[in-house]
Structure formats: structure tokens, C-alpha cells
Structure 1
Amino acid sequence: MPNRRPRGYQPLWKPRARTRELLAAVDRVLARYAAQLPLTIRQVWYSLISDGVVVKEERSYKRLVEVLGMARRSGRIRWEALRDDTEIRAEPIAYAGPEDFRAALRQAALDFRLDRQAGQEVRLETWSETAGMVNQLVTVADPYGVPVYSGSGFNGLPAKRGAALRAAADGHRAVRIFVISDWDQSGVHLFSALAEDVTAFAGVDAPGTEIVFERLAVTEQQIADYQLPTAAPKTSDNRSFTGTSTTQAEALPPDVLAAVLRGAIEAHRDMDVLDELLEREEEQRRTLLHRLGFDAP
């Protein structure tokens, strides 16, 4: 690693042998979870722990952050393979000219879709404590029309009230919210606080609507089944916690998490209803393209 903090691209970076070995192990992790990219750095770290490449110490995580930073700056690892989620964007919409706008209009027509939860008995949502995992969860949930919410919104009043307002706007159909959070004092408290607060708001905004919260990950059973890395509960956190050890949600292998979410969604979907809706969606998309003067793909 360079003595001073690097800036910009670093095409001349020459990692030492020990660092090259670590990067080779990272390559194996990224190849293993190619269908779930981009991964968060913590997901890579936990995979390396499970592979026996690094030990579960904060210094090994900090070193991995530095190495992956240089690996991306040098072009050794693709930028798109990892996700940091430290950026917030607010970009104005603009076009190069009429033809560019027409191309965007065609793409919008190609992207046309119906509400894929229409006709289902239960409306589903997915909430993730970790913002960096959202893209992976969206890959699974989006084909079913299931939205994904994340991050600090768990503790934000507008986000909790928003869940109740969505329930009301949906015609008081039953709602099931899948939650993915750490297995520790904070994650358990977060789950219960979320459920209690949303239910309380819904009691006023959507009275009579059934809202069920289901913890998808991480669970004690998953910790045992997949032998996830654990740590002792924080002694500084006095909130009640029945577990004897803690685990972060990012410790669960990405492909396992994807399978868990897909299974949970399909367990509450009438696939015949969804298939009929998708056929109608495709027919309406073709009609829309024709009316706008575009050829169907």
C-alpha cells in the first residue's frame, strides 16, 4: 500500500504477494456470487471469513477496505462489483435533442409494466437494515412487483408512517413485511420497534388492515445451518436480547439470502394470477409501442 493516501486512479499499483493472495480470494468470492453483484465490502469480508482466508477482526475488515479501494482505483477489480452506498444523487433530467428524447420515450414504453401485486390476497414489502444489500434484494423482488425499503428509514418516523399510508391507499388489503436485519440487540429492537410503530400508525390510518412482520434474516436457525461467523453481544447495550451471540445480516451468503427472499415471496403469491397479469402486461406494452409509432422488439 502507498505511504500517503491515494487519490484518483492508481494504474501503477503493484500489490505485494500477500495482498495478491487476498485479491485472488476476493476474485473467487465475486465469481461465486456473480448473480448477486454488487456485493457490499462486508459481504465479501464475511465470505472470506467463511473461506478461512481472514479472521473476524475489525483490523482485517479495515485492511480489506483499503485493499479493495486500491484494487478499484487500479482497475484490478471492477467498480461495479462492489457497492458502498455513501452517495446520494439528485440529477436533473435533460436530453441531447429530440432524437434522444424519442429514444428515451421508446425505452419508457419498453419498461411499461402493471402492478404485479394486483389480484393477490396479500401485498408484500421487503425492508433491509443494510442499504448496501438493496440492489441484490431488488433483483429478486422486482419481478414480483415487491418494493424494497432500506437503511436508516427503519428508525425514521416518515418511513414508518409511510408504510401505514401505503396500507390505507391499497384498500386495506392484508400486508406482509419481510424484514432483514442483524441478529443482535440493535437488530432485534429495530424489528420490534418497526412492527409496533407501523401497527400503531396503521391503527389510525388503515384501521382493520392486517399487517404482519416476518423476520427473514438473520435468524438463529440460519446461524446454525450456515455456521455464520458470530461475536459476543455488546455489553454496552442493555436492551433485552435472548441470543448468546450476534451476527450481521451481511454474514448470510448472498445466494442464500436471495433464495430465502424468493421462497418467502412465492409462498404468498398465486402464480397463476401473476402469469395472467404478465401476459396482459406484455400485450399492453406492444399496444403502447404501436400507438407511439415504435416497432415492438
Structure 2
Amino acid sequence: MPDRRPRGYQPGWQPRPATEQLLAEVEMILGRYAAQLPLTMRQIWYATVADGALAKQERTYRRLADMLGMARRAGRISWLAIRDDADPATEPRTFDGPAGFRRAVTDAARAYRLDRQAGQEARLEVWCEPTGLAPQLAAVTDPWGVPVYAGGALTSLSGRRAAARRAATGGHGAVCVMVVGDWDPGRQHLFTALAEDVKAFAELDAPDVRVEFERLAVTEAQIAELRLPPAPLRAGATPTQVEAIPPDALAGLVREAITRRRDDEVLAAVLAREEAERGMLLEQLRRMPAGA
């Protein structure tokens, strides 16, 4: 039987009234969380459930995903507003000639930055279970130079060892790993096992560094305070997904966790040096002959 699903752009799409109403709800949600875009499909779904526009059922998630697919194909929803989980692409870096290379070097100088965690007592990391949330969280953590690791950092053996080896760099006395992931009553032991495994590697790779783990989200307290709905029913314990937290609330949790662990004066000194060195590099490039 042929696959009759749409292909390519669909400029002539004419949604039914019920779909048009759901589309208006989604547009309102995207406007509400404009500062956190792009959102994942699951975040949008939880927002529609919280607003009462959809029932909390897996079939409504599939309906929403199909509708958003058509809305993007039709140009009703921006492609940049929704984050798709996808494997990262690796493409070769090329230039259109010496002038293009010079522009790239200048752009790199404009983006020059130091390690903004330098001099702080503890190095911070955010580990994010849903890969699709990583860019959203990175936009929050970027001003402090806090990296976000997703997917394999939580599950792979090499990711855990790499975390221990990172602890040995930078001259920090401690490393704090803040984990953002689902709350699953039946799998809480996995968080403990993750922390124990990284700490065991660090005993040899970074023996002088204290390694700490904190569950930043989701917690039982957040479930109660934010009235987070569980995921659609399935066999066994029912998890609460991190994407059920409103995007602005999640950003606030991450921001607060970082700021209470930072020395503002130390950071200000790093930023001042960064700005001065960036200016020096740009001035050197400006004075360089065009043919050099």
C-alpha cells in the first residue's frame, strides 16, 4: 500500500476548524515562551495539556506532531521554533577564498572568549537527559561558560569516564554535575549508580577534586509545586518527564542553580580580561594588510 503522507512543502494546506483552533493555541504557546525557543515537540504538547487544549493521551501527542509537521511544511510555523531530535551532522569547513578566510578569522576574533569558569571554586556542568533540550539549556548556561552534555553523557561508559577526566582540568577544587532528567520512581537507583560510577573513575583520574551530583530537575518537590502531570500511562511506574516543566520555569531553575554557585567578582574579572583581549585581536586584524 503506498505511503500517502505529505512530501515537501505544502503551501496549499487548508486545516479544518478544529485544527485551526489547535494551531492558534500552539502559536500562543510559542509566543509565551519566545525567550526559550526552540521548544521540543514534547514541551509544546505538555503546554497544550496544561492549557486544557488537548487531553493527556499519547494519541493527542501524535495528533499534535502530525499537525505541526503540516504547519511547518505550509509555512504557518517557523522551522526554527521547534527543536527536532536528530543526529549531529559533520561537514567539512570550506572558504570561498582568502577574503572569505579573513572574514572567518575576524568573526572568530569577535567571538573570542575565555574560560568563564576560571578561578571559581567549583566547575559546573549540566547533564540533560532529553537531547532535544540541550540547545535550550545551553542558551541559559552560556553567559557563565557552563557546558551542557546530553544523551551519552548520562548513559555511556565513555561519557562517565570523560566526566571524571574533565574534573582533573581547570584547577578547580570541586566539580558539580547538575542533572536535568525525567523523574521515574522505578528508576531512581540509576541516578545513584551514575553518580557513584563517575566518582569511582574520579578517584584515580582526579583524586584531589570533589565530585558532586545534584538532581536539578525533575524532583518530587517540583512535581508538587508546579503540579506537573505524569507521562501517559504505561506498564509499571509512571514517570514525570522534564519537558512537563514550563520552559521559562526550567530556564529559571538552571539560572538560579548557577548563580548561587558563582563568585560574581571572579567572573567580572574574567569578562574584563576577555573584552580587552578581544579588542586587541580585532585591532591586530584591522592593521593587517589585506594581502597578508
TM range (shorter): over 0.9
Q: Which residue of 2 aligns with 1:52?
A: 52
Q: Quick one: distance in 1 between partners of 2:59 and 2:178? A: 33
Q: Alpha carbons of 1:273 and 1:103: their partners in 2 closer, same or farther (altered >3 Å)?
A: same
Of residues 179-188 and 266-275 in structure 1, the stretch that sits farther from structure 2 once superposed is 179-188
Q: Which residue of 2 aligns with 1:147?
A: 147
Q: Which residue of 2 aligns with 1:175?
A: 175
Q: Alpha carbons of 1:14 and 1:186: their partners in 2 closer, same or farther (altered >3 Å)?
A: farther
Quote how far apart the aligned CAs of 1:285 are: 0.3
1:191-242 CA-to-partner distances (Å, cap 9, x unmatched) read: 22221110111112111321110111111111111111125885446xxxxx
Q: Quick one: distance in 1 between partners of 2:109 and 2:220? A: 45
Q: Alpha carbons of 1:151 and 1:60: their partners in 2 closer, same or farther (altered >3 Å)?
A: same
- Is 2:58–2:232's contact at 8 Å kept on the other side of the alignment? no
Quote how far apart the aligned CAs of 1:279 are: 1.0
Q: Which residue of 2 aligns with 1:241?
A: none
Q: Alpha carbons of 1:98 and 1:283: their partners in 2 closer, same or farther (altered >3 Å)?
A: same
SS at match of 2:64: helix
- Is 1:181–1:187's contact at 8 Å kept on the other side of the alignment? no
Q: Alpha carbons of 1:97 and 1:232: their partners in 2 closer, same or farther (altered >3 Å)?
A: closer
Q: Quick one: distance in 1 between partners of 2:138 and 2:27? A: 24
1:40-81 CA-to-partner distances (Å, cap 9, x unmatched) read: 000000001100110110000011110001110110100000
Q: Which residue of 2 aligns with 1:195?
A: 195
- AA aligned to 1:191 is F
Structure 2: state its 5+ residue gaps. none
1:94-149 CA-to-partner distances (Å, cap 9, x unmatched) read: 01111111111100000000110001011000000001111111111011010000
For the pair 1:219 / 2:219, whether they are aligned, the reply is yes
Q: Quick one: distance in 2 between partners of 1:67 and 1:87? A: 23
Quote how far apart the aligned CAs of 1:85 are: 1.8
Of residues 139-148 and 178-187 in structure 1, the stretch that sits farther from structure 2 once superposed is 178-187
* Identity score, percent: 54
Paired residues for 1:246-257 under 5 Å: 246-257=239-250
Paired residues for 1:86-125 under 5 Å: 86-125=86-125
For the pair 1:75 / 2:75, whether they are aligned, the reply is yes
- Is 2:183–2:219's contact at 8 Å kept on the other side of the alignment? yes
- Is 1:176–1:212's contact at 8 Å kept on the other side of the alignment? yes
Paired residues for 1:252-267 under 5 Å: 252-267=245-260
Quote how far apart the aligned CAs of 1:294 are: 6.2
Paired residues for 1:232-247 under 5 Å: 235-236=235-236, 246-247=239-240
Q: Quick one: distance in 2 between partners of 1:294 and 1:47? A: 53
Give the number of aligned pairs. Answer: 286
Quote how far apart the aligned CAs of 1:88 are: 2.1
Q: Quick one: distance in 1 between partners of 2:145 and 2:215? A: 20
- AA aligned to 1:275 is A
Q: Quick one: distance in 2 between partners of 1:187 and 1:88? A: 28
Q: Quick one: distance in 1 between partners of 2:197 and 2:186? A: 16
Q: TM-score, normalised by structure 1?
A: 0.92
- Is 2:127–2:153's contact at 8 Å kept on the other side of the alignment? no
Q: TM-score, normalised by structure 2?
A: 0.94
For the pair 1:272 / 2:265, whether they are aligned, the reply is yes
- Is 1:154–1:190's contact at 8 Å kept on the other side of the alignment? no
For the pair 1:129 / 2:129, whether they are aligned, the reply is yes
